[in-house]
Amino acid sequence: MTLLLKTITRNSLVALVSKFFVKLISFVFTILIARTLGESEFGRYALIWSYVTIFATCSDFGLGMYTIRELAKGQANSKYLAENIIVFRLMLALATVLLIGLTSFFIGYTPQMFWHIVLASTTLFIYAVQDPLDSILQANERVDWSSLLRIVGQFIFIGLGAIFLLLGGGITGLIAASLCNTFISAVLSWYLVQKYLGGLEWHIEPKIWFTLLKAALPFGIIGLALNWSQELDTVMLSFFWPDEVIGWYNAAYNLILGMVIISNSFNVALYPTMSKENSRNTIGLHRLYKRIFKYLFMASFPLAVGFFMLSRPIILTFYGEAFAPAILPLSILAWLLPMVFVSEFLRYTALVVGQEKKAATAILLASLVNMILNLLFIPRYGLLAASVTTLITEAFLVSLYLWQLRVEISIISMGSVVWKPALAASLMAVILLLFSFMPFILAIILAGSTYIGILFLLGDLGAEETGILRELFTRHVPVVSNQ
């Protein structure tokens, strides 16, 4: 096994374990929030962050992703990059907060909703500092530090958020807790960069800001289009449907997004390492694509089947009867998982090989499709339209990526990669159906064991995967360098 694969796997596991832990406690806390606020207030809370998110990219314009890639490649022109981006992003954040405030005012949201949106948008000032610092950590392949800060920040948010909820702070208290979380994470990131990674050198050159913005613009378009695709349906639901509908939809959608940590953690770890490797040897990268696709499908198919088959007990157990209308969107959105797993990896692949303009074009087209479908169908069909539209948009995006990257992934035979996980997941669905009388936790354990067992029988899991894990944790495996 190559050192590159060991590095990616180690960083992926660190990111995955930490993100899984963060998502687990965040998921439990989200349930507490939903149950405490109720479906209507929870809908308003989700709308606030969705509204901020669709504008948030204007405070970044792709500078975060651009910073990671350039720092990881170690280019000479990356000196003072993070410092200049911090100052530049603070200015962009100010403009974005003003834009958010003005648009929410003219839309006609209630005064309370307006001030909640403005308060939530002030997190962009903190992210303007914290994101570039986190980019330095990731570019130096210190995913462990970045992950630890994520865990600490989440504990701060949950601790303060729970206190504020118990004291009756409601949505305002939760937003305040989020601000505290982001601020402390930024302070800790600053400390780690200063103490262990050489610190920052404040050589500010405003004349290079336009050049940076131009170089990062494709990344910014990607981020903006992604945010619009993910959050526009929530904002549009608010125009035509009551707050509880937004709460039901987001209860289901948040469950699906929580599972995306599996692919996201892998890609976060992969991106800086692969960017560095791409500048040295592209042949080795191409050989990894088939293996990566294999593991993505192996992880996503059983999740999709499980959420589809068990959507009712999942919603009722975690959220209660008040959120029963979320069962339908969850059963539809379950099939989003295989497509999101693949599209996210393809997007990062495009960025690694310098095809960010093609990726931006694909996401813009998909976002346009998403917007048109939402405008046509959400006013009449609400939850159903939002769910199906999200699924159609992601399928369209995957198709565009596969076409654009057909040269890079030509080594992959999709049929040979997909059929074994698909067959195992289908048999797993039969097990879930036959044992539907069991408590759903036990059913999940039985079905999961069946799925893994079938993959072993089909030869899709075996000595290679066992060897990877064994070598990964032996002492002779070099620790990821912070150089």
**Quick check: is 65 in a domain?**
yes
Predicted pLDDT at 414: 65
Reported as a pLDDT band with limits 50, 70 and 90, residue 472 is very low
**Quick check: is 412 in a domain?**
yes
**Domain residue limits at 181:** 3-472
pTM above 0.75, yes or no: no
Give me the percent of the chain exceeding a pLDDT of 90.
Answer: 18
On whether the CB atoms of residues 289 and 412 are closer than 8 A, the answer is yes
Predicted pLDDT at 32: 84
Give the whole-angstrom CA distance, residue 397 versus residue 226: 11
Predicted pLDDT at 112: 92
- In this predicted structure, the answer to whether residue 256 has a pLDDT above a threshold of 80 is yes
Q: Mean pLDDT of all residues in the chain?
A: 79
Each residue's pLDDT tens digit, 34-91: 888 888 898 999 899 889 988 887 887 777 666 666 665 554 344 567 778 888 889 8
Give the other-Cβ count within 10 Å of 475's Cβ.
5
Each residue's pLDDT tens digit, 296-353: 888 888 899 989 988 998 898 888 888 999 999 999 999 999 888 888 888 877 777 6
**Quick check: is 481 in a domain?**
no
Predicted pLDDT at 473: 45
Give the whole-angstrom CA distance, residue 153 versus residue 22: 9
For tokens 């960069």, name the residue: 193
Predicted pLDDT at 469: 47
Overall number of domains in the chain: 1
Give the whole-angstrom CA distance, residue 378 versus residue 88: 38
**Quick check: is 483 in a domain?**
no
**Quick check: is 373 in a domain?**
yes
Each residue's pLDDT tens digit, 148-166: 777 788 888 888 998 998 8
**Quick check: is 408 in a domain?**
yes
**Quick check: is 29 in a domain?**
yes
**Quick check: is 11 in a domain?**
yes
Phi, psi at 446, each rounded to 5°: -65, -45
* Short-list 200, 189, 119, CA closest to 152: 189
Give the other-Cβ count within 10 Å of 433's Cβ.
11
Give the whole-angstrom CA distance, residue 203 versus residue 81: 9
Each residue's pLDDT tens digit, 7-23: 555 555 555 566 666 66
Predicted pLDDT at 96: 93
User: Rounded to the nearest 5 degrees, what angle is found at the Cα of 113, between the Cα atoms of 128 and 371?
Assistant: 75
Predicted pLDDT at 346: 84
